[in-house]
Structure 1
Amino acid sequence: MDELKHAADMPITRAKGRSLTTASVVKKVLAGTLGLSLIQVPLLASAAPGLTLVTQESTAPTSKDSASAASKGLNPADAKITKDQAEARARSLFPILNEARLDGITYGEQNVYPPNTKKVWVLNWAIQRGNGSTSFNVDVDALTGDILSFYYPSTWPQADSNTAYYPPPVSKQEAEKIAEAFIFKAAPSIKAGTMKPSNQYGYAPNKTLFGPVQYSFTYSVDVNGLPADNEYVSVDVDGNGNIVRFNRSAFQGDFPSAKAAIGKEEAEKRLKQGLSVKLAYIPSTPLFNSSAKREWKIGYMPDRNLEPMDANSGKRIDTIWGKDLDEASQAVSYTALTPSNKMFTPHKGGQLTSDQAQALLQGIAPGPDYQFQAALGNYWSDRRQVWNLSWNKRSSGLYQGDSKHAVVDAETGQLLAYNEFQYPGSEPVKATASAVTEAQAKTKAIEMVLAYYPNATEALKLTDAKTSNNPSSSKTVYQFVFQRFYKDLPINGSTVNVSIDGSGKLTSYDTNGNLSDADFKAMDALTAKISPKDAQERLLNGLGVELRYISSGGYPVDNTYVEPTVRLAYVPMLNKDRYLGYIDAVTGKTEVFNVLPNPGNGQSTELPSDAVNHAASKDLATLLEYRVLSPSQDGLLHPDAELTLGDWIQMMAKGMNPDQDYFGGPMKPIFTDVPADSPIAQAVQLFSEKGWFGNVKSSELHPEQKLTREAVAATLTLALHYNRLSDFLQQDAEALSLSDANAIKDKGAVALMLKLGLMEALGGKFDPAKPVTRAEAATIMVRLANLQGKVDTPLNER
């Protein structure tokens, strides 16, 4: 029986833990370096190209004592909290530990490279259920006794019959009270009155209609009456009121005095001195995020980096390394590239072989003392076919020596990335005198870009931006940033970063932001209406500073652990927002760079006027709250508008994930009439992945067809994995007794909907061919959300 075909004449038949540490480090880096100039670089990099910031989740170490702590400069005798006290605190706070096994306690973080000197007790736990087990850590500050991290093992809540779905027993307001009361128990170093709600740290869990209910609360913690970077606490509470995740970030050293030698007015004067604006194209989302629905704006941005200033010395601060920047801040300027006789020529004649891809890197690829490997795959940012090439130093020891990696477009031969890596424990590179000057390295970098970047002389310009090297490294590295332009305007976030070492050898090459024809089309439609003078005035009026403690370090960069430091500084602010933005050149409004979009922020949950008095107003409000629905351009919901099949697929998919970032990039279209750039392409991919189309036999979906009641019944039967039960119920008495039973092609699906209460038969009729309105769909989806905790397989579990 072809349920979906029978349901709506559709050509279809029937026959798969969040690291707050990572998020906070990225946020800190962004606050200090990104959104400040026209030379945007990757999220996990500083303003220096080729300088990689690595963050990693804690893993459960196997050691059961602190023998390895001494090798990292840690001494358990310095701890003010004993390991027994740490264990007792953890057990008293988290009831789940009563069913867990303590596998060991270590002093200091283990299995991380490079080693760090955090004074922390790491308690390693394991939970065994049947043949399955999971391991997790509870970290306790060895100086204060604060719980630093805990998470309820992510594999268990979904298998737990007590998982809370919509509507949850505990409301958000009740959960917030639970979170705040718990914080003072888990982190006694936090004093009353020092916490403030904050969205600066972490990445809140996505709020989904069909997912387990979970609330996230984050608070900044003031020190000496001032806000302080990375001083925060974050708590996740599930819909039953249980603490499922806890993170506390705190500096373990002494804070400097809160008294500044330089006044606030003087700091603002220095910030604004000589500052101007430059017009640029600005994407609404990072260019590496090809799965997002990107929009474009044209706006005026500051013409230079706006770094924090030391409140006592007045020097600008490099927020990655925590060092002073001695040179004054200067506007970024650009130099056009001159064509050469070695310009990039795209490959023609089909997909490259791995040998052909390697041959293109002549002069970059290392010699025969390296072992070569190649693998064909999808590029991480846009899923184009690429060759991943690796050269590993032949060595007798495991994880010794160094390796080199390159990514080459398998169709065109364009070099997308090249990086070198030295394994931990390898013999460090000996410092040698530089064989090339900076001018010679610049020439080499330009040659590289011309040879490997399409239309480089038209698309790129070399910036004079100064970048920061690893201050602990004895190796000379020259770093260059090439800014991408379109129609003489820079494209924010699109750069090519090249690093050349002192010997003249390439050490890294990174391209950021693949642009599509749709992107260029969107930029073509933009024209500035605000003058540069007006924009500059608005920017300067909005700029200010905030006195606060800023922090650097506590993370590894380029295989070097940057020790945590705290300084008193004036931080640039735009309209009292630390995440500096730009002036929209069309509206004149101040906008913030959408570098780390936070789900759920910014959308009004106020019900539009045409839905306020509707019979389904409560259900429509729920779908608006969970971002399944959003008002049209006229500000209305149009609750009585009839839906298409495509609309329904989109709504169901948003019930699973309102951001629709299901995949890392475009996928091969499943249906010929749903191309990769279709607004419902991501939703169709999700339906296919979950098997909600059944066994597809047709190449067309016809998403424009009207959505019928029987089509909804067939879809929900597949979504709930009741298709076999549906077959069994084809002769169900309730369905057969309907006055329009003969018009129903899939009686089993209809019988299921009636028995589950998801749909109803009014006046003894089901009306299988009747189109479904937006309001009717909202009611069905809310009923389905209420059913989630009562079915054997909730929608989010497959």
Structure 2
Amino acid sequence: MDKQKRASGMPINQDKGKKMRTASVAKKVVAGTLGLSLLQMPLLVSAASGVSVVEKAAAPQATQSSGSDASKGLNPAEAKITKAQAEARTRTLFPILKEARLDGITYGEQNVFPPNTKKIWVLNWSIQKGNNSSGFSTEVDAVTGDILSFYYPSMWPEEDSNTAYYPPAVSKQEAEKIAETFIAKAAPSIKAGTMKPSTEYGFSSNQALFGPVRYSFGYSVDVNGLPADNEFVSVEVDGNGNIVRFTRSAYQGDYPSAKAAISKEEAEKRLEQGLSVTLAYISSTPLFNATSKREWKIGYIPDRTLVPTDANSGKGIDTIWGKDLDKANQAVRYTALKPSNKAFTPHKGEQLTADQALKLVQEIAPGSEYQLQSSLGNYWYGNKQVWNLYWNKRTPGTYQESNKSAVVDAETGQLLSYNEFQYPGSEPAKASAPAVTDAQAQTKAIELVLAHYPNAAEDLKLSDAQTLNPSSSKTVYQFVFQRFYKDLPVYGSTVSVSIDGGGSLISYNADNGLSDADLKAMDGLKAKISPKEAQDRLLNELGVELRYISSGGYSVDNTYVEPKVRLAYVPTFDKSRNLGYIDGVTGKAEALLQLPDPNKGSTPELPSDAANHPASKDLATLLEYRVLSPAEDGLLHPDAEVTLGDWIQMIAKGLYPDQVYYGGRITQPLFADVPADSPIAQAVQLFADKGWFGDAKSSELHPEQKLTREAAASSLTTVLHYNRLSRFFQQDAQALSLSDASAIKDKGAVALMLKLGLMEAPSGKFDPAKPVTRAEAATILVRLAHLQGNVDTPLNQR
């Protein structure tokens, strides 16, 4: 998830060109009661509490003067790299900027609050093409001269005739050499021998068969001989060898000594002391992502948060606040909820109106001093329509705004989230005793959950992993409710609530919930290995790594956390920082929610039944780009006949190989025989959105029908948007000369496919009624990929 940051050494995948950079982002407690902390969680995890913090959408920014409020406390005269040198370096390194206009240069980060003291030059660019324009920025370290960020707006290269499509002019190996050569020029402060390849720091680009070819490379950079969270480089190179994105993260403060006072062995003993395992249901994909096909496992996970240990004091570290923990972490315990006569009742009938949605959350809505705006939209990462309620209040005497927002399921009325945001410093920070106790806040949190979460008393338990915000000026109570199914926790399924010292709700966040299919899948799971076996295996896989970790640079519950770097031993699993668990069935150690390698381009081994097939090369290409995958028996079955549903799915995977299409919500199935929960529903939606069903008016798709060669030709004609042109070729001499021309109804489509070289007619016969095999489909799609860069509008832009 692009808007996620990980704590204490969890590297941040930055895409600074696609979103406004901010040093203070609103953070909200959302998940993580299972003690699954530092080992590569996709969410920030508080070591003290086991709760997690995730970045909220960027809040309104403070208005900036030409002097830049963000550069308060900075003196450009102290920069070792001048403004002119920063501009010259940028223009020299990125020749593509000759198409851009430099609109200005500022000192210090822009659009951040509170103001920071980062010594950088920010160059603001814009590109104008016709009536369209796009603005972006490039950052240069004013101390070292390193380029810190560059991103050329993707909308321009993809519309450019020089965009690289498959097959690329530059291979992955060649692109890697280009990237490393460029890093030496763009980041001269990196010492030789300190940079190491790492999949943790690459951009999130996914190679698609029908998309622009881009290679992503990430590198960690050692400091004082140790890995450091703040030091990394990410480069993206396109298929023509151009640098299209670049990020260099470097800490401008002083690093502590690399000498540890306690040994690695001692740190490992502290990590493992008293550690046990908990059996839980584990999803193959994060539960916030409701569009991906989800598989379930049952596995053993640590019973507590695995926290880093300060390498000098030996104390555990709260990775959110960067503070020492007063006591060792204990196993998480849960308390059942008592049923309430005010339990949530799902709405039935027509979709809720905005007024009805507001009424359901009236008890937590702010007063009349806030102005309400509402909009109906799709919930992120899911096929759920929601009401977005947004209350805005301008703080008197400033340009800063405080706001509150809620998301309500438009079908059921369930509250999915509520969050408030205030700029730190927008109101006086006065320390005061809380008006409500922890127990009173807990009672309110329980009442809120019972009133807004379906079957809360049956499905949720209160974790004892709550904590107080350690801010000296404001008390915030945090509570996390864990989802259970058949007495086992469901990893990642939580509801979190934050309440301030005055008893007011600050945040409420629930996950997407579990479908009937999820519950059915979990029903069939049963552990075959004992907890003792799993615990022994887990302890065998655990270890520690000495490194520099970081915290801060963000806000938690409206409290800004100052950046801090310290030397620590961090937990590892199977010698990596990926969170892991022990499979309850196989007993194997598995990585949990491991970040994908953005360069999914290494060819997996071709199954035996395809290795010697005449179409083996094309089958290997589709396997490499995740368009095809082996069946349960491990084979590709290249001669199996393809159905219409298979064909639609294959083309969709050529654009979205991970089966996640972020198109319109499936409010109502397009075809009666393709329900919303069908494996091909998203692919069908994509086809419809792009107009690839043509003028079809049928209420049924019949995805199970065999795909004939003529049907494939007609489909490809529509995919290429050559429908009208195909009518022009209906009397084409080449098509009419085929020996079986009389059996072909769509002669224009067949003629086009022959002329484009996508299909052939061996010995002058097309065989229009012959079913297409997987191997034949692979050859056609690889040819289509070769054609992609030569058509007026590539498939990914239609």
CA distance 1:379–1:789, change in 2 (3 Å):
closer
CA positional deviation for 1:376:
3.3
1:675 counterpart residue number: 675
- The match for 1:605 is 604
Question: What is the SS of the residue equivalent to 1:363?
Answer: helix
What is the aligned partner in structure 1 of residue 589 from structure 2?
A: 590
The one-character-per-residue Cα deviations of 1:527-578 (angstroms, maximum 9, x if unpaired) are 0101001101111111110111111223444455543321110000111021
Note the residue ranges of structure 2 that are not aligned, 5 or more in a row.
Answer: 14-28
Aligned residues: 776
Q: Counterpart of 1:329?
A: 329
SS at match of 1:110: coil
- Within 1, Cα distance between the matches of 2:569 and 2:409? 44
Cα 1:209–1:348 shift into 2, 3 Å: closer
- 1:54/1:556 contact within 8 Å kept: no
Question: Structure 1 residues 99, 166: CA separation in 2 closer, same or farther (over 3 Å shift)?
Answer: same
Structure 1 unaligned spans of 5+: 1-17
1:60/1:124 contact within 8 Å kept:
no
Q: What residue in structure 2 maps to residue 84 of structure 1?
A: 84
| Distance of 2:727 and 2:424 partners within structure 1 | 59
Deviates more, 1:364-373 or 1:232-241: 364-373
Query: What is the deviation of 1:180?
Result: 0.7
**CA separation in 2, counterparts of 1:58 and 1:227?**
35
CA–CA distance in structure 2, aligned partners of residues 55 and 589 of structure 1 = 38
CA drift of 1:691 comes to 0.8
Secondary structure in structure 1 of the residue aligned to 2:445: helix
Residue in 1 aligned with 2:752?
752
More off after superposition, 544-553 vs 386-395: 386-395
- Confirm or deny: 8 A CA contact 1:369 1:394 kept in the other structure: no
Looking at structure 2, the residues matched to 658 and 549 of structure 1 have their Cα atoms a distance apart, in angstroms, of 36
**What residue is the counterpart of 2:293 in the other structure?**
293
Q: Does the 8 Å contact 1:535/1:585 carry over to 2?
A: yes
Task: Say if 2:508 is the partner of 1:509.
Answer: yes
- Please report the TM-score for the alignment, with normalisation by the length of structure 1: 0.92
Task: Determine the structure 2 residue equivalent to 1:10.
Answer: none
CA gap of 1:585–1:19, structure 2 versus 1, over 3 A, is closer
Q: Tell me the equivalent position of 2:625.
A: 626
Matched, 1:38 2:34: yes
Contact 2:216-2:236 within 8 A present in 1 as well: yes
Displacement after TM superposition at 1:56 (Å): 5.7
User: Mean alpha-carbon deviation: is it higher for 746-755 or for 403-412?
Assistant: 403-412
Task: Write out aligned runs for 1:20-99 (5 A).
Answer: 27-28=10-11, 38=34, 46-47=45-46, 53-54=55-56, 66=67, 68=69, 70=71, 72-99=72-99
Read off the aligned partner of 2:548 and give its amino acid letter.
Answer: Y
User: Displacement, 1:508?
Assistant: 1.6
CA pair 262-35 structure 1, distance change in 2 beyond 3 A: farther
Cα deviation digits, residues 378-425 of structure 1 (max 9, x gap): 333433333333333477778655333222333433222222222577
Residues 483-522 of structure 1 aligned to structure 2 (within 5 Å): 483-522=482-521
Q: Equivalent residues in 2 for 1:321-400 (5 A)?
A: 321-393=321-393
Question: Which residue number corresponds to residue 251 of structure 1?
Answer: 251
Aligned to 2:786: 786
Query: Quick check: 1:55–1:556 contact (8 Å CA) kept in 2?
Result: no
Distance 1:193 1:763 in 2: 61
Counterpart of 1:11 in structure 2 is none
Q: Is the 8 A contact 2:387 2:409 kept in 1?
A: yes
Deviations 1:646-692 (CA, angstroms, capped at 9, x unpaired): 11111111111111211276553211111111111111111111111
| Matched AA of 2:476 | V
Q: Separation in 1 of the partners of 2:432 and 2:59?
A: 36
| 1:66-145 correspondence runs (5 A) | 66=67, 68=69, 70=71, 72-145=72-145
Q: Which amino acid aligns with 2:536?
A: E
Q: Residue 62 of structure 2 contacts residue 399 of structure 2 at CA under 8 Å; is this kept in 1? A: no
Q: Which residue is 2:22 aligned to? A: none
Q: 2:166, 2:209 within 8 Å by CA — same for their partners in 1?
A: yes
Deviations 1:199-248 (A, max 9, x none): 11244311111111111111111111111113111111111111111111
Taking a change above 3 Å as real, the CA distance of residues 66 and 410 of structure 1, as seen in their structure-2 partners, is: closer
Letter aligned with residue 631 of structure 2: S
Q: Which residue of 1 aligns with 2:442?
A: 442
Q: CA separation in 2, counterparts of 1:401 and 1:231?
A: 34
- Whether the aligned pair in 2 keeps the contact of 1:281 and 1:297 (CA below 8 Å) is yes
Q: Deviations over 1:634-656 (max 9, x none)?
A: 11111111111111111111111
Identity over aligned pairs, percent? 74
Q: Which has the higher contact order (CA 8 A, sep 6+)?
A: 1
Aligned mates of 2:135, 2:5 — CA distance in 1: 20
Query: Within 2, Cα distance between the matches of 1:51 and 1:655?
Result: 35
1:523 corresponds to 2:522: yes
Matched, 1:540 2:539: yes
1:445-475 residue CA offsets vs partner (Å, 9 max, x unmatched)? 1122222222222111111114362x44612
Which deviations, in whole Å up to 9, do the C-alpha atoms of 1:590-648 show, x marking residues without a partner? 11112644466598611111111111111111111111111111111111111111111
**Contact 2:194 2:223 (C-alpha < 8 Å) held by counterparts:** yes
- Alpha-carbon distance change, 239 to 638 in structure 1, aligned in 2, over 3 angstroms: same
Q: Which amino acid counterpart does residue 302 of structure 2 have in structure 1? A: P
- Contact 1:373 1:389 (8 Å CA) reproduced: yes
Q: Contact conserved, 1:53 with 1:556, CA < 8 A, in 2?
A: no
Amino acid in structure 1 at the alignment position of 2:34: L
* Partner in structure 2 of residue 795 of structure 1: 795
Please, which moves more after superposition, 344-353 or 667-676?
344-353
* Partner secondary structure for residue 622 of structure 1: helix
What is the alpha-carbon distance in structure 2 between the residues aligned to residue 362 and residue 230 of structure 1?
Answer: 43
Structure 1 position 753, deviation (Å): 0.6
What is the CA distance between 1:373 and its match in structure 2?
Answer: 3.7
Separation in 2, partners of 1:750, 1:162:
30
**8 Å contact kept, 1:493–1:513:** no
Separation in 2, partners of 1:794, 1:59: 37
- What is the CA–CA distance in structure 1 between the aligned matches of 2:156 and 2:63, rounded to whole Å? 21
Partner SS, residue 714 of structure 1: helix
> CA offsets per residue over residues 717-742 of structure 1, 9 Å max, x none?
11111111111111111111111111
SS at 1:390 equivalent: strand
Gap change, CA 1:83 and 1:582, over 3 Å in 2: same
Contact 1:354–1:387, Cα closer than 8 Å, also in 2: yes
Conserved? CA contact 2:527–2:584, under 8 Å: yes
Corresponding residue for residue 6 of structure 1 = none
Deviations 1:490-513 (A, max 9, x none): 111111111121122222211123
- CA separation in 1, counterparts of 2:165 and 2:603? 23
Instruction: Tell me how far apart the structure 2 counterparts of residues 203 and 137 of structure 1 sit (CA, whole Å).
Output: 18
1:761 — aligned with what?
761
SS in 2 for 1:200: helix
Answer yes or no: is the 8 Å Cα contact 1:50–1:499 preserved in 2. no
CA distance in 2, matches of 1:185, 1:76: 24
Cross-structure match for 2:150: 150
- Displacement after TM superposition at 1:69 (Å): 5.3
Q: Distance in 1 between matches of 2:145 and 2:172?
A: 28
Partner of 2:553: 554
- 1:185–1:615 Cα change, 3 Å: same
Q: CA deviation at 1:20?
A: 9.8
In structure 2, distance between residues paired with 1:547 and 1:604: 34
Counterpart residue number, 2:17: none
Partner of 1:229: 229
- The equivalent of 1:5 in structure 2 is none
TM-score normalised over the length of structure 2: 0.92
The whole-number CA distance in structure 2 between the counterparts of 1:375 and 1:161 is 38
Mapping 1:158-237, distance limit 5 Å:
158-237=158-237
- Cα offset, 1:287, TM superposition: 0.4
Displacement of 1:138 in angstroms is 1.5
Question: 1:651 maps to which residue?
Answer: 650
8 Å Cα contact 2:343/2:450 also seen in 1? yes
1:615 alignment partner in structure 2: 614
1:661 aligns with 2:657: no
CA contact (8 A) 2:290 2:381 kept: yes
Q: Which amino acid aligns with 1:83?
A: K
Residues 618, 447 of structure 1: alpha-carbon distance in 2 compared, 3 angstrom cutoff: same
Q: Please give the residue correspondences for 1:687-702 in structure 2 after superposition, counting only pairs within 5 Å.
A: 687-702=687-702
8 Å CA contact retained: 1:234, 1:246:
yes
